[in-house]
Homo-oligomer: A and B are copies of this chain.
Amino acid sequence: MELELSPRSRQILEAIVEDYIATAEPVGSTSVARRHAMSLSSATVRNVMANLEEMGLLTSPHTSAGRIPTEKAYRFYVDSLVALRQVSRDEKRDIIRRCRKSGAGLNDILKETSRTLSTLSNYMGIVIAPSFGTDVFRHIEFILLAPRKVLAILVSQNGSVQNRLIDAEKDFSQNDLVTMGNYLNELVQGLTIAQARDLILSEMTREKVQYDQLLTQALRISEQAVVLEPDDIYVEGQARILEQPEFSDVSRMRDIFRAFEEKGDLLKLLGQCMVAEGVHIYIGSETPLSRSAGVSLITSRFITGSNTVGMLGVIGPTRMGYSSVIPIVDYTAKMVSRLLGSG
């Protein structure tokens, strides 16, 4: 459904959206006429605004206030009006430096990235780690912490590390555990974690294995180790979003936080953002999470060296600085991909 709008209408709509984004106050006809000095009288602007309202692009909170953009207007704005800002040199430097600095494991990088997103956008940064299950298995290791208490460590190709504490049924020696580890490493080489899991489960029922005590035990233990957990998700900058005037109403804030505490749901819903390349923008009720909360979501996916895919983005009010946040998300996703991708 393409919208037919005269250039002038488009210009006025753009002015209104941007004014509203900047001020969070309903914008009136005079201020549009004045500030965006397009040699039009306020009366003319009013006529146009009336049209735009009829088309469902604007609403007025009450009779004699200015207009505010509807979701539809934001949609139109990001689709065909917005002039994307360049990511500034400073911002680029910041993004790269903070990715590198943390120099530690994958998790640290992702966490820092979500913080970076929040800082640069002034909204909430969010990063979903590449799904562990789909990543290629790299290494498994069993470590004896105490009698019958075994720590299993799984490493995937892109550097994700998961660990689980296992209550063993028997008193293994560390040597036993090493043997078991070697066996398993060989068994599942080259598979994804999920495939490895399936293989282990099916292998357990095979007869010839049954007779080898140690191997059976190895499978038993590893079964506990490769339980698929929901993927990690990093959210930063809750404090920052509290500064937005629309969230001075606390109850709204609560809804959002609630949504984040149900990380499981969130993940499932956001999973769909990961299918396609490029930046995705969800405005208001388009967002997969708690609708009615008046938030927008800008996401992009990133790809790791082993071709697993994660997601990062920014969450803010619908009245969001799209022109600057979109490029930031885009650039960050590319940088993270590059950092994780190249050797």
* A interface residues with partner B (beta carbon < 8 Å): 103-107, 109, 138-139, 141, 143, 145-149, 151, 153, 155, 157-159, 161-165, 227, 229, 236-239, 242-243, 247-248, 250, 253-254, 257-258, 260-261, 305, 343
Tell whether, in the assembled complex, residue A158 and residue B145 are in contact, meaning their CB atoms are under 8 Å apart.
yes
Count identical subunits in the complex.
Answer: 2
Tell whether, in the assembled complex, residue B243 and residue A254 are in contact, meaning their CB atoms are under 8 Å apart.
yes
Minimal beta-carbon separation of A196 from chain B (angstroms): 16
Tell whether, in the assembled complex, residue B239 and residue A254 are in contact, meaning their CB atoms are under 8 Å apart.
yes
CB<8 Å pairs between A and B, sample of 30:
A103-B164, A104-B163, A104-B164, A104-B165, A104-B227, A104-B229, A105-B162, A105-B163, A105-B164, A106-B165, A138-B143, A138-B145, A139-B143, A141-B141, A141-B153, A145-B157, A148-B343, A151-B155, A151-B161, A153-B161, A159-B165, A161-B163, A238-B257, A239-B257, A239-B260, A243-B254, A247-B250, A248-B250, A250-B250, A250-B253
Other A-B contacts than A104-B163, A242-B250, 12 sampled, CB-CB below 8 A, are A106-B163, A138-B143, A143-B155, A145-B157, A153-B155, A161-B163, A237-B261, A239-B258, A242-B253, A242-B254, A242-B257, A248-B250
* A contact patch SS: mixed
Residues of B near A239 (CB, < 8 A) are 254, 257-258, 260-261
Interface centre among A145, A147, A253, A343 (most CB of B within 10 A): A145
CA–CA, A131 and B287, complex, Å: 40
Residue of B nearest to A257 (CB): B239
CA–CA, A55 and B261, complex, Å: 44
Residues of B near A247 (CB, < 8 A) are 250
Minimal beta-carbon separation of A337 from chain B (angstroms): 15
Choose one: B165, B243, B248; the contact of A105 (CB below 8 Å): B165
- 5 closest A-B pairs (Cβ-Cβ)? A239-B257, A105-B163, A146-B343, A161-B163, A104-B164
Residues of B near A157 (CB, < 8 A) are 145
CA–CA, A291 and B28, complex, Å: 43
Tell whether, in the assembled complex, residue A151 and residue B105 are in contact, meaning their CB atoms are under 8 Å apart.
yes
CA–CA, A247 and B248, complex, Å: 11
> If A151-B105, A239-B254 touch, does A145 touch B165 (CB 8 Å cutoff)?
no
Residues of B near A109 (CB, < 8 A) are 165
CA–CA, A161 and B141, complex, Å: 12
